Amino acid sequence: MIGFLSDWGHKSYYVGVAKAIIYTLNPKATVVDITHEISPFNVHEAMHILLRASRDFPRGSVFLCIVDYGVGTARKAVVMKTRNDFYFVGPDNGLFTLVAHHYGVKDLREISNPKFMRHKVSTSFHGRDIFAPTAALIDAGESFEEVGPRILTYEELKYNESKVERNKILGEIAYVDGFGNVETNVPQSFMEEIGVELDSSVSITVGKRIYKVTYCRTFGDVMKGELLIHADSSGYLEIAVNQGNAASLLGVEGGEEILLERAK
């Protein structure tokens, strides 16, 4: 199975031709579109979504991941094999930071073998010419070790890892979804650690602004237009407005530090 994630959108033909390459090389492939609506060039957003989405894929899955603002430059084209036997194919620009941290890196290779590329590689479409063929062939059973030489380091993005300190939760806004819900990197379990129970009040600090919200089960537990915080389907805390846009209300885009604590 190939999970396909990109910032290409659907207006252009990029997704279609990348899939055509995959099916040409591997007619029996199953391609699952994770999303092609990553905000353009937003590797920070992509790394969070990739981690969450990958958890629902079977062992041995290959992930074709293309958010590649440095296409054609000296950045490496790589395949990362993680300890749970996932394969991540894409640019070495920090996109694989979280999957590497959470799953552990078993092996890392730079794609250099022409066998895993189209016969003519463009300078601006490595998604079609390098990454799609590599993902297709690994999924078809070609040896991962043949893609190229082993490398020992990879690019990592800086992020605010969530933690509990003195009954306060520190973390970051991972990304904003299509409804304007604000996804954090804070596990729901941290609420229990600081003694916050469902239906109680929580203070959320973003920059210099403080918001008092209800910690509840789902959107409809508060009135329409009211701010809330709850555990999303991935087990992380999500800040939302019932039938509204929390990102606009909070003035955030992703990457901002947040602080959570019991309301006083």
In CATH, the number for domain 163-262 is 2.40.30.90
Residue 260 pLDDT: 96
Placement of tokens 């070609």 in the chain:
142
pLDDT > 90 fraction of the chain, expressed in percent and rounded: 97
Distance CA 49, CA 61 (A): 16
Distance CA 220, CA 241 (A): 10
Residue 119 pLDDT: 86
Cα–Cα nearest to 45, from 180, 154, 177? 177
Give the CATH fold of the 2-147 domain.
Rossmann fold (3.40.50)
- Average model confidence (pLDDT) across the chain: 96
Q: 3-state DSSP call for residue 65?
A: strand
Distance CA 151, CA 108 (A): 6
58-93 per-position pLDDT tens digit: 999 999 999 999 999 999 999 999 999 999 999 999
Residue 264 pLDDT: 78
Distance CA 22, CA 30 (A): 10
155-200 per-position pLDDT tens digit: 999 999 999 999 999 999 999 999 999 999 999 999 999 999 999 9
Mean pLDDT in residue range 193-220: 94
Q: What is the pTM of this model?
A: 0.94
Cα–Cα nearest to 63, from 96, 89, 97, 27? 89
**Which pairing describes strands 227-231 and 236-241: parallel, antiparallel, or unpaired?**
antiparallel
Domain residues of the chain, as ranges? 2-147, 163-262
Angle, helices 14-25/132-139, rounded to nearest 10 degrees: 30
Residue 161 pLDDT: 93
Band (263; pLDDT cuts 50, 70, 90): confident
